Amino acid sequence: MNAQYIHPFLESAATVIQQICNVTITRGELGIKDVAYSEDHIWIRIGLTGQLEGDVIFGLHHEVALRVVSAMMGGFPISELDEIGKSAISELGNMISGNASTLLFNQGVSIDITPPQLVQNQEALPSSGKALAVPLNLGDLGRLEIHVIALS
């Protein structure tokens, strides 16, 4: 696993979330973590193909996802993640990944991304186990974890 692959996702996430949610982002420490499903989290999985094969997975505690969706909708209070909320949080992962693919392309790494998949059970997460992971502090909204599993 090469740490250079996660940096475009971190840069993109900071830019996109700052613009959409109007919060200041701070990065946590880069580490290698097990990819483990947790029912109190919302998981968005996006596949990576091309010169970089693997997955990027965004994880948010359910309450953080509600706050992020609320911020995306101009502060409208959200009490449950309905279909519109699920679509919004999935689109956030899509925007981050799309921007990251452009940053990677500018570094000479050509990738395509798959449509976002909202993960609802353990079976939908990659079984490879280990990922490069960095938590992002989203100010008052909470924390987002970004996991990159690069198979090539």
Mean pLDDT, 10 residues at a time, over the chain (152 residues)? Answer: 83 94 93 80 93 92 95 90 93 96 94 91 64 92 91 66
Which among 60, 54, 35, 68 has a CA at the least distance from the CA of 114?
Answer: 54
The domain limits of the chain are 3-150
Tokens of 64: 């953080």
CATH number of 3-150: 3.40.1550.10
**Pairwise CA distance, residues 14 & 9, whole Å:** 9
**Pairwise CA distance, residues 118 & 137, whole Å:** 21
Q: Which residues pair with 42 in a beta bridge?
A: 60
Tokens of 47: 């596949």
pLDDT digits (tens, 9 = 90+) for 23-34: 999 999 999 887
pLDDT digits (tens, 9 = 90+) for 70-87: 999 988 888 999 999 999
DSSP code per residue over 37-93:
--TTEEEEEEEEEESS-EEEEEEEEHHHHHHHHHHHTTT----S--HHHHHHHHHHH
Q: Which helix (H) or strand (E) holds 125?
A: none
The torsion angle over the Cα atoms of residues 104, 105, 108 and 113, rounded to 10 degrees, is 70
